[in-house]
Amino acid sequence: MPTPQPIRLAVIVPVFNEAANVAPMVDRLDAALAGIPWEAIFVDDDSPDGTAAVVRGIAARDPRIRCLRRIGRRGLASACMEGFLSTTAPFVAVIDGDLQHDESILPAMLAAVEGGADIAIGSRHVAGGAAEQGFSAARGALSDMGAKMARMLLPTPVADPMSGFFLLPRALVEEVAPRVAGRGFKILLDILLSARRKLAVAEIPYSFRSRQAGESKLDATVLLEFGALLLDKATGGIVPLRFLAFAAVGGIGVLVHMAALFLLVQAAGFGFGPAQWGATLVAMTANFALNNRITYRDARLRGPALWRGLLLFYLVCGIGAAANVGIAGLLVRDGVLAWGLAGAAGALLTVVWNYAVSSTLVWRA
């Protein structure tokens, strides 16, 4: 039996509901990477359309194909990081699983990094590259704005920092991994902003194709996460992003509480006491839903776990509220703080308590 060649390049393919694109993707990689020992690792977040089964079907015939299936997790950036860290190949690349990136430039990207570049980026914004024809004007403008903001933070100029198509030595991934936030959609930007040295970047032009099958997963929360990533990197990650999101949701909860209180008293004719209880319940439920969608998006609860989580969240917030009232009361009684400050101290303690306990017991994030 001939000794198999060690793998030189691992191509990480993040996939969520891309069942129809897997087989064409494998064929294209096979054609593009002739002569290079490669493997492709499809990282699937338990897609309901059966993407993982399709990958495994192909892997049964082709040992270069691997499937990394994650359950109860979501996220493009973390999928890429886990793919990188699951291979022994000295070079790693990421390519979208929806055929929008042009795999034929992978050998040129590999050659650039073998030739000394720290990272090769498939770029839509250097001479010879092009953005998707069908990119809506709004999406194009948004992408440009994001790229402008990103460039302000980057130590090295990069024409297409929003690209999701790049190749680098695995050693560089291991070097930056402890600082990578790993949340959201922009893993390249995350890596560039996490490097503590100036990187030699090679940008290779390609034309972004339009999607043939399946649909884009970019939505409003993805944009929020992008803003959060920039904020995190700009502030050196002092305040945990999740905490900021949790606190912002808490702020919205106060507004929801006031609105519900007003409606219950004014429109429904409840007395103030019962109306307070009702408004508290409404606000806690709204906070739970928002946190489940935004703050803990990557660990979102569904089905029976959702109801268990909601009950636990009521309990945690109930204790938090009792502590808030109790502590503020003590501080005022003992003359430690004026009532305004005491109220703020109680509220801060409550947010920290609610956050810490929710993160460990409710969402286990």
The interface partner of residue 97, options being Mn ion, ligand GDD, none and the CB cut-off 5 to 8 Å by kind, is: ligand GDD
DSSP for 159-219 reads S-TT---EEEEHHHHHHHGGG----SS-HHHHHHHH-SS---EEEEE-BPPPP-SS-----
Task: Tell me which of 43, 67, 229, 256 binds ligand GDD, using CB under 6 A.
Answer: 43
Binding-site size for ligand GDD (CB under 6 A) equals 23
Task: Tell me which of 185, 226, 296, 363 binds ligand GDD, using CB under 6 A.
Answer: 185
Q: Which of residues 290-349 bind ligand GDD (CB under 6 A)?
A: none
The residues binding Mn ion (CB under 5 A) are 98, 100
**Binding of ligand GDD by 143 (CB under 6 A):** yes
Closest separation in Å from C-beta 166 to ligand GDD? 10
Residue 78 or 100 with smaller CB distance to Mn ion: 100
Residue 100 or 358 with smaller CB distance to Mn ion: 100
Residues forming beta bridges with residue 11, ordered by sequence position:
40, 93
End-to-end CA separation in angstroms for the chain: 47
Question: SS3 for 128?
Answer: coil
Residue 226 or 288 with smaller CB distance to ligand GDD: 226
For residue 344, which phi and psi values (nearest 5 degrees)?
-65, -40
Distances from the Cα of 155 to the Cα of 158, 177, 358, angstroms = 9, 18, 37
Task: Tell me which of 9, 12, 76, 195 binds ligand GDD, using CB under 6 A.
Answer: 76
HEC readout, 264-294: HHHHCCCCHHHHHHHHHHHHHHHHHHHHHHH
Closest separation in Å from C-beta 104 to ligand GDD? 17
**Binding of ligand GDD by 190 (CB under 6 A):** no
Closest separation in Å from C-beta 112 to Mn ion? 24
Residue 232 or 350 with smaller CB distance to ligand GDD: 232
Quote the CA–CA distance of 168 and 155 in Å, as a whole number: 18
**Binding of ligand GDD by 209 (CB under 6 A):** no
